[in-house]
Structure 1
Amino acid sequence: MAREKFKVGEKPQPIRIKTWTPRESPVLSQQEAKRLDAAISDAISTMSNLLAVRRVSRKLLLNRDINKYCRFIWRNSSCANYNKCGRANDNFRTESCLGVTIPDDHLSGCAVYPHPDQPDVRVIKPDGAGLPDTDVLLYIKAQSTDKCRADSSVLAYSAHCQSDSGGRPVAGVMVICREPLSIEGFSHDHLVQTMIHELLHVLGFSKELFSKWTGRSLFSQMAVDISHGHMIYMDESGQMRLYTPNVIKALHTHLNTTHMDLGAPLENQDADSRGFSSHWEARFLQGSIMAAMLAEPSLVRIDMITLSALQDTGWYSVNLSQAQNLLWGESKSGGFGCHYLHLHKGVCQSDQYLDGCRIYKPLANGSECWKEENETGNGPEVWSGEMFRSDSRCFLSNIIREDHFSFNASVSGRCYRHRCTGTNMYQIQVMGSDWLDCPPGRSIQVFGYRGEIFCPDKRLCRYRMVASPHKPLPSGPTGPPSRDQLLTQKPITDMKIDTALPSSEMCVMTVVGVSIGLFFFGSLMIIHRKCCPSRLQVHVLIQPYALQV
């Protein structure tokens, strides 16, 4: 265990993460280094704003692995030097983790006791200088490794290296694939979120560390029994789930249910032989920072369920006030046709993490309603009344200008301006129209246009985080390392599961004009059935085990 001390009862303080560039790291260009340093700074600032720990009071020193530097160990418990090294391994050179050489200055010393009962000792390596003001040491290197070259979708991967006497991780390695640092379409925010994702793996959200979670609050000595055998197991549908107190509580709130057996589902596509994964299941917790694939930055949330999992490690005091609302699956999950945050128009697609289910993902080009440059002044937007502004959002619509030659248009995602008038209350504006009330769960007609616009319920004007894209959250035992990777080079903008709406919910829509209403309703059903055929329906969890195949 890494050497550390803290005072009993000491109040947790913001975590201090120190980064170190290994000597074997390649030399980066000025542009690459600048981009990397800026992302590291923002990611660490975010983590310090989220997590607090009982700080290491002395300089942080990592331990050497006795099984590496020692040829044999005194195993007779009656010996004075029981469990100490009896003879050094002449081939031992240094400690490493995920291909990174750990400097001697960061390591505690090691010694040999030639006799089992005599105090004679021979120092092989003295204690290093250690690292002051450090709670976690993160080795970061940007390199085009074999793993990066083997799969161009890999942006970064990480490993936990060592823990302290209480099990809390104090050292880890993060490898950033170098190629994305120099591409023309480089995204600072995307790299920051990638680093936050990998940091969360290092700090405890990892299948290799689940068994170390204590459930003990930093403010109390009482622990909840979350031993490995009781924390993760398979539900009756075959889904592996994480069952810890705060995670269950967060899920109850998120899904508006009190089901006693509700646990957070773990990804099955990257599971190990035990069925354990270091990611949330994409079908159920899409948009979470700990999904296996991350969407573009504006669509990713550092959500309450993930922060609750960090609480359940027992190592951190978590700033839950910084949790971002995860709209996916919330309550009954009304709304359909657009990305579930309504920032983009979408197309119905799938990927390897959705097990055959299809969801709405942003169109390849021009899907952002909030980008003014997407308004070309010609094409469909002219007759559909679309407006691309910073306050525009995606609405399911089939409106068409009355003077347009076509009699009707298909129902699809369209971009219109919106403004909030209260909680879950808003108005919209179409090209050439005044601001119009848009009653959630109903549809409206617009003067000068044929067709209707559907007003999504419980999706707009509810959360301050659902805004046009901005920067992420503001700042304010030794052994083989665990490895986790994030596949995000090709941005997977995974969107909302198109839910099967019972007829009673579909009837909530108020239609002005029977014939137009029937047309609109029929169009919605056609889109719905095309996107999610009955054999591949996924219902958002209101009660557990709602997956239907």
Structure 2
Amino acid sequence: MSCRFLFFLFIIIQNSFSSIHISPNRNQLQYSFIRTNSDRIIERFKRRTTSDIFQIHIHYDTSIKKLLKDEQKLIKEAVQAATNYWSKTIRPKYKLNNPIRLTRQCPSRKMFIVERNYSIHYCSEKCLDETHCGDIIVPEEHLQQCYICKNHQKCDPIGTQGPGVNTEFILYVSVLQTNRCEPIDTLATASFCQLERQQDRPIAGNINVCPKRLRGDRNGIDFDRLVSTIKHEILHTWVFSSGLFAFFRDSNGKPFTERDPATGWPKIYDEKLQIYTPSENVLKQIVRKNWKTRGGLVDKIILMLVTPRVQAVVREHFRCSTLEGAELENQGNVGTALTHWEKRLFEHEIMTGTYTQESVISNLTLALLEDSGWYDVSYEYGKPLLWGRNLGCDFVKTSCKQWIDSKLEKKKNPYPFCISPPKPNPSKRICDYTYDKIVMCNLVEYSTALPFEYQIFDSLPNITDENELARFGGHVMLADYCPYNQELSYKNSNRDSRCYRSENQPPNNENYALEKYSSQSKCFDHGSIWEQYIDQCHRKRRVIPQAAGCYEFECISYKGFYVYIGKEKYLCEYQGQNLTIITAEYDSVYVGTIICPDCQIICGSLNNFQCPSEINKNHVQRQQQQQSDIRLSVQNFCTRSYEYNQSSMSDKTNQLHIILQTIFLFSICLYIRKGF
């Protein structure tokens, strides 16, 4: 077995983890309302000022106390970080004037009685002893009185109401190993619980962290990923739910979806999906003709969110003026399909159905929050979505097979998808499009054939058997099995391939390309296989090929940026510049090349930074040609390094001689004193 293959055994494509969102059915879904002693209904809302922050009350279920202290701390810090982000990013359009008291649930059916222009729901005969929000039992102090109708005649509130919670949203957090936690990759689940009566905005929800998954990783759950997951789950309780789409309102506060005048609820209920059916102004079915599959052309049915801001964002993002809206996920179980963005098109957006690499909250998700009619949004807190940007209608309206085939026919890179040799090869590691991490094509061979509509390849290198070709596809099912470059993790360690995490620094004996992981590091593609000179440069060997590495950098206005490798620094002056690296480390001399990325990607986000203007590339190339005799350069470097080491060893030897002489003289003195 070769060293290269042995090395790959320690590298794996980043494990994904997912979330499941379940909408309450119509018997579970409740409106929360406030009755007043006044003769008329007083509006519950005040138009808020933009300086207000979103007030979120976090209530921890008793299940969290079953965790270890460190685990409790991890979850609480992650929840706080997530809610802090959302509190400054969005605000409800209208502010509640009164405490939230949730409506008690009914054992079976509920009835609606119109009182003072309100459709108030009553339970038949009694309320349930316990009211649930997702997986938890709502505390009594958070509940309204019980409203019941006895013998279908006398309808009254009974019992007492709790003080409620003075807030704008109650987030119930639990840590329970429920049935929805059974899929091995499920880290958390979420559900919204109740809506306020006047504008339909959700005012309570539950996120549940799955304890087995939390503890299942021997190296622990990464804090940043846990925060990202909780941000994702919170959005399911606020807006991104197939069960909420029918309640969206336009910019004037009017429902997009027609309402039943008797109940105030949306008019049509889908018994199969267990959700109210939204208007086509919100959710629309589209048929894509001539969708290319391995077996031929088919009609592809997709569902898209087509609200105004969402439509505008995706049209601008993909540069496709005829795009109808943003495609929703069509794969996965209940709780994944229709409640996430399509993974094939929005890979690293936070609201896709599975976490595969570091995600971003983009303008797309922020636009959905605003289009719901419930929130004002601060777009400055969003981050750019780079996946698929500016790739046009051909990318966003066709299958990945059609995109890959058309690019390969023109001998072009099928970015953002990839084609790698079917066998693992660490030399295929490259930088991702943000230059924040090292990635590798996630093309894998499955044990059985992929579903027919997702089979991609008519041919692959060294594979001719059609049955075998049917088994190859991308590692991520939700991305329609389309292969793309994905973040890596390392077996038997807590390391992954994100350059900015110092925890990912490899031990010296595995640092084959002198990498440095830190908050000041970016990814740089290698231009050649690196070589290592040992035994005073008398022997040369190729280091394990990896094709990219993480290195620290420093931006210098008008000049470019320095890349620090070993004890040396190298100036990148223009994109595509091929820098020769010669540096000494670990009693060896390393020789290789790196390719300079775009200065704007590396340094463009810095305040007042200016990348170099057009430079004389011929001048730079002539400077490099002066070092073109690599052998001579290495020999000179080795000589200097050897002389330095010899000088250093000589200094150390002299120091040792002085120490030994001192000890010898001291011993003689002691001996003489004892003699007298």
Match of 1:152 among 167, 179, 184: 184
Specify whether residues 197 and 85 from structure 1 end up closer, same or farther in structure 2 by C-alpha distance, changes over 3 A only: closer
Question: By percentage of residues, which structure has more helix?
Answer: 2
Match of 2:317 among 233, 237, 254: 254
In structure 2, the partner of 1:211 is: 246
Q: Deviations over 1:419-440 (max 9, x none)?
A: 3345995443443543222422
Equivalent-residue separation in structure 2 for 1:312 and 1:81 (angstroms): 27
Contact 1:141 1:176 in 2 (8 A): yes
- For the residue of structure 2 that corresponds to 1:417, the secondary structure is strand
In structure 1, the partner of 2:341 is: 280
Equivalent-residue separation in structure 2 for 1:37 and 1:374 (angstroms): 28
Equivalent-residue separation in structure 1 for 2:593 and 2:221 (angstroms): 39
Specify whether residues 73 and 115 from structure 1 end up closer, same or farther in structure 2 by C-alpha distance, changes over 3 A only: farther
Q: Deviations over 1:464-513 (max 9, x none)?
A: 69xxxxxxxxxxxxxxxxxxxxxxxxxxxxxxxxxxxxxxxxxxxx9989
Contact 1:391 1:417 in 2 (8 A): yes
User: How many angstroms does 1:80 deviate by?
Assistant: 12
In structure 2, the partner of 1:230 is: 281
User: How many angstroms does 1:57 deviate by?
Assistant: 0.5
Equivalent-residue separation in structure 2 for 1:84 and 1:342 (angstroms): 55
In structure 2, the partner of 1:311 is: 370
RMSD: 4.1
In structure 1, the partner of 2:484 is: 359
Please state if 1:461 is matched with 2:603.
Answer: yes
- For the residue of structure 2 that corresponds to 1:159, the secondary structure is strand
Amino acid at match of 2:486: K
Equivalent-residue separation in structure 1 for 2:73 and 2:310 (angstroms): 37
In structure 2, the partner of 1:56 is: 96
In structure 2, the partner of 1:542 is: none
User: How many angstroms does 1:199 deviate by?
Assistant: 0.4
User: How many angstroms does 1:396 deviate by?
Assistant: 1.9
Specify whether residues 86 and 161 from structure 1 end up closer, same or farther in structure 2 by C-alpha distance, changes over 3 A only: closer
Specify whether residues 438 and 386 from structure 1 end up closer, same or farther in structure 2 by C-alpha distance, changes over 3 A only: farther
Q: Deviations over 1:16-36 (max 9, x none)?
A: 111223467764443333222
1:287-302 correspondence runs (5 A): 287-295=348-356, 299-302=358-361
Match of 1:270 among 305, 329, 332: 332
Give unmatched runs, 5+ long, in structure 1.
466-509, 517-549
Contact 1:423 1:461 in 2 (8 A): no
Equivalent-residue separation in structure 2 for 1:355 and 1:171 (angstroms): 34
Amino acid at match of 2:158: I
Please state if 1:135 is matched with 2:171.
Answer: no
In structure 1, the partner of 2:587 is: none
Match of 1:177 among 188, 210, 215: 210
Q: Deviations over 1:408-456 (max 9, x none)?
A: 9867122333333459954434435432224224544446887643333
Match of 1:346 among 439, 448, 455: 439
Amino acid at match of 2:305: L
Specify whether residues 173 and 400 from structure 1 end up closer, same or farther in structure 2 by C-alpha distance, changes over 3 A only: closer
Equivalent-residue separation in structure 2 for 1:364 and 1:80 (angstroms): 61
Larger Rg: 2
1:117-128 correspondence runs (5 A): 122-128=156-162
1:386-405 correspondence runs (5 A): 386-397=515-526, 398-401=528-531, 405=540
Equivalent-residue separation in structure 1 for 2:245 and 2:416 (angstroms): 34
In structure 1, the partner of 2:9 is: none
In structure 2, the partner of 1:43 is: 82
Equivalent-residue separation in structure 2 for 1:85 and 1:268 (angstroms): 35
Equivalent-residue separation in structure 2 for 1:122 and 1:30 (angstroms): 46
- For the residue of structure 2 that corresponds to 1:285, the secondary structure is coil
Aligned length: 453
Equivalent-residue separation in structure 2 for 1:342 and 1:276 (angstroms): 31
Specify whether residues 442 and 240 from structure 1 end up closer, same or farther in structure 2 by C-alpha distance, changes over 3 A only: farther
Amino acid at match of 1:190: R
User: How many angstroms does 1:343 deviate by?
Assistant: 2.7
In structure 2, the partner of 1:436 is: 571
Contact 2:122 2:149 in 1 (8 A): yes
User: How many angstroms does 1:304 deviate by?
Assistant: 1.7
Amino acid at match of 1:38: E
Equivalent-residue separation in structure 1 for 2:602 and 2:228 (angstroms): 24
User: How many angstroms does 1:123 deviate by?
Assistant: 3.9
1:501-520 correspondence runs (5 A): none
Which fold has the larger relative contact order, with Cα–Cα distance below 8 Å and residues 6 or more apart in sequence?
Answer: 1
Specify whether residues 18 and 347 from structure 1 end up closer, same or farther in structure 2 by C-alpha distance, changes over 3 A only: same
Equivalent-residue separation in structure 2 for 1:137 and 1:57 (angstroms): 15
Equivalent-residue separation in structure 2 for 1:423 and 1:162 (angstroms): 56
Instruction: Decide which moves more: 200-209 or 88-97.
Output: 88-97
User: How many angstroms does 1:161 deviate by?
Assistant: 0.9
Please state if 1:187 is matched with 2:222.
Answer: yes
Instruction: Decide which moves more: 320-329 or 106-115.
Output: 106-115
In structure 1, the partner of 2:10 is: none
| Structure-1-length-normalised TM-score | 0.70
- For the residue of structure 2 that corresponds to 1:353, the secondary structure is helix
User: How many angstroms does 1:312 deviate by?
Assistant: 1.0
Question: By percentage of residues, which structure has more strand?
Answer: 2
Contact 1:247 1:263 in 2 (8 A): yes
Q: Deviations over 1:112-165 (max 9, x none)?
A: 456888xx6554334332222x111122211222332x2232111011111112
